[in-house]
Amino acid sequence: MINKLIEKIQKTHAPIVVGLDPMLNYVPEHIQKRAFAEYGETLEGAAEAIWQFNKEIVDATYDLIPAVKPQVAMYEQFGIEGVKAFKKTVDYCHEKGLVVIGDVKRGDIGSTSEAYAVGHLGKVKVGSQQFAGFDEDFATVNPYLGSDGIKPFIKVCKEENKGLFILVKTSNPSSGEFQDRLIDGRPLYEWVGEQVDAWGKEHMGDSYSYIGAVVGATYPEQGKVLRKLMPKTFILVPGYGAQGAGAKDAQFAFDRMGHGAEGRSVTAYCNYTGGFILILFNAVGKHARCIFIYFALIPAACSNFSRLPQNTVRTCFCNIYIEKNSVIHFLSSAAPSSLCKVI
């Protein structure tokens, strides 16, 4: 699967992953109204709204990106109906040819870890039959419990041609409370990075291991150290945009050919009475390259977004280099800044 991910990145020229993390207040009002009209203001209605929102984003971007990363907690908050929306999202992304990274951050031991691995990446046996559960292509996992928690995932990945991204140095502000603690004079994240590298050497794709790492762009200096410790580890780089990291902060993760990592794209959007703007830009390099601008006027009778003509999008915007604040400024010129979000 790591080979497929790399091939898709090279084909799209976009080493980014689009996060599908749909809080209900991110969903445009007209989508919510349509879902609530059919299912009521219920958990089922909320799940339908986030599923339709995801579908619109995927339809607008699937040919421009290699992968998506749905965060399971955003779906679990709506109970079983939200989990169904998660599964529908995974399946639909596969139909569109996208690699799916399940952001599940699982971590346990023994049979529990194996059950998590089977549920998200493998197949469960039911009588004489086998069935895939959520069937993501990669999963994020927490290494805090050590090899007992990771090896069941590695076993399933090897059997099913799937992959992992193991938390090494996370992007959140308090990550250092544990991850920066010194053990024999070195921070914990370095010890974890070395172990990820060791696991990865035993499970290689053509050029990178399918045992990857999560290293936040918010800590670029630590990231440089970790890249040296994990030269053949594919790195998932969160933290760009809302968490404060800039495009240049993610550069540590890439090799001289621009390979070896995938950063989270920034999706900036403005939802207001007259329309909806979705801007997707590639957070790699000195600046963020805008790869897609999606604008739809939404009259009362219109239920779907309309993609701008290809020549309009690519001719007018694809070669414009912009920083995050410029995007927000652009959106704010069309609507109050309070309605503009970076997600």
Strand 123-126 relative to strand 129-132, pairing: antiparallel
Residue 17's Cβ-side half-sphere holds a number of Cα atoms within 13 Å equal to: 27
CA separation for the pair 107, 174 (Å, rounded)? 19
Q: Which of 4, 84, 87, 105 is catalytic?
A: 105
Helix-strand-coil split of the chain, %, nearest 5: 45, 25, 30
Strand 321-322 relative to strand 129-132, pairing: unpaired
| 169 labelled catalytic | no
CA separation for the pair 341, 339 (Å, rounded)? 7
CA separation for the pair 131, 118 (Å, rounded)? 10
Say if residues 252 and 233 touch (Cβ distance below 8 Å). Answer: no
CA separation for the pair 237, 258 (Å, rounded)? 14
> What's the token pair of residue 267?
């999706």
SS3 176: helix
Positions marked active-site: 105
